[in-house]
Homo-oligomer: A and B are copies of this chain.
Amino acid sequence: MALSLGELAAIVGGRIEGDAARLVERVSSLQASGPDAITYYRDPKLENLLAETHAAAVVLCSDDAPFFAGNRLIVSNPALAFAKIAAALHPRPAIQPGIHTTAVVHENAEIAVDAQIGPMAVVENGAQIGAGVVVGAQCYVGSGTEIGSGSRLDAQVTISHNCIVGCNCTISPGVVIGAAGFGYVPENSTWLAVPQLGRVVIGDDVEIGANTTIDRGALDDTIIGNGVKLDNQIQIAHNVQIGEHSILAGCVAVAGSAILGKRCRFGGRVSILGHLEITDDVEVTATSVVTRSLLVAGRYSSCVPVQDSRVWRKNAARIHNLNALAQRIKALEARLKQ
């Protein structure tokens, strides 16, 4: 798809300095640009690449306009504008409505006429597939599960029975939604499974990365709010609740019944223990561990960075004796006071 710089400026609310009629066909990085591409600039470290780029145009803010002599699309937020331009030039593939001949769709499933059910997909009894939904190749949609209009499941997604996915969601391959939560009670040195009878209820505009798992609730539901973004390999245990527009990076794990607020941000590999509450607008940096409720908005951390292994070994040994070290300091202070 080719669009003129003028059309793109209209889409993003920007202003052209240069040839507004110039057509571009794709977005690119500064490095991989060419006369058919529009790129963007905001990182001063890339200033030398900006000078050398062969792009048809560059998206940048007015302060940076002097650094580029070619066609400029001036905006207040280049990253945001560029994302919208990318979406305009590279729209998602159009839906191909219909049920593939190899799909197995139960006669009591309701499939919107303009939905697309891919090859080898299985849709069970009573499932409801909304308008414009894509159920990708080899997906599984359990009985009674509802998928809202405009949502797209990539290949090999599994959604178990009686779950709800909202509208305009995107679900990557290998995602498992609605598996049984991990609930056991001890009985005579063995573990008895507690039936997991709740659902997973996912709001609108949620995006879920590859191989992420979201377990169904034990009695009540696991709830993912509108606009939540989940990266790959995230584990969400039963009865977790995640507030609207929170964003979780790769490999985050949230234990059972934790309640996460709105607009929270969790870095990669953050661990959140169970039965605690995190208020709105909390940020937790990568690999940190939340062991208690966080009731005050702010930024929290507990990451220990690497150092040379020989030095680290000595420091790690000291950590194991840190309380004793502290007591020695106290003793020194007491002796000095005398």
Seen from chain A, the residues whose Cβ lies within 8 Å of a Cβ on chain B are 26-29, 31-32, 77, 79-80, 82-84, 86-87, 90, 100, 102, 104, 118-120, 122, 137-138, 140, 142, 154-156, 158, 160, 170, 172-174, 176, 179-180, 182-187, 189-195, 197, 205, 207, 209-211, 213, 215, 219-220, 227, 229, 231-233, 235, 237, 245, 247, 249-251, 253, 255, 263, 268-269, 271, 273, 283-292, 294, 298-323, 325-326, 328-329, 332-333, 335-336
Residue pair A306, B290 in contact (C-beta under 8 Å): yes
Residue pair B174, A213 in contact (C-beta under 8 Å): yes
Most buried by B among A27, A118, A219, A300: A219
Residues of chain B contacted by A83 (CB below 8 angstroms): 183, 185, 192-195
Residue pair B325, A329 in contact (C-beta under 8 Å): yes
Docked CA distance A113–B200 (Å): 34
Residue pair A305, B332 in contact (C-beta under 8 Å): no
Docked CA distance A220–B306 (Å): 29
Residue pair B289, A305 in contact (C-beta under 8 Å): yes
Residue pair B291, A302 in contact (C-beta under 8 Å): no
Residues of chain B contacted by A156 (CB below 8 angstroms): 138, 140, 156, 158, 176
Residue pair A306, B312 in contact (C-beta under 8 Å): no
Docked CA distance A82–B183 (Å): 12
Residue pair A237, B255 in contact (C-beta under 8 Å): no
Residue pair A302, B307 in contact (C-beta under 8 Å): yes
Docked CA distance A335–B338 (Å): 13
A-B contact pairs, 14 of them (CB 8 A): A31-B220, A86-B195, A87-B195, A118-B122, A119-B122, A138-B138, A140-B155, A170-B193, A172-B180, A182-B209, A209-B215, A232-B235, A232-B237, A249-B255
Residues of chain B contacted by A173 (CB below 8 angstroms): 140, 158, 160, 176, 179
Residues of chain B contacted by A269 (CB below 8 angstroms): 253, 271
Residues of chain B contacted by A290 (CB below 8 angstroms): 305-306
Residues of chain B contacted by A119 (CB below 8 angstroms): 104, 122
Q: How far is the CB of A36 from chain B (nearest CB, A)?
A: 14
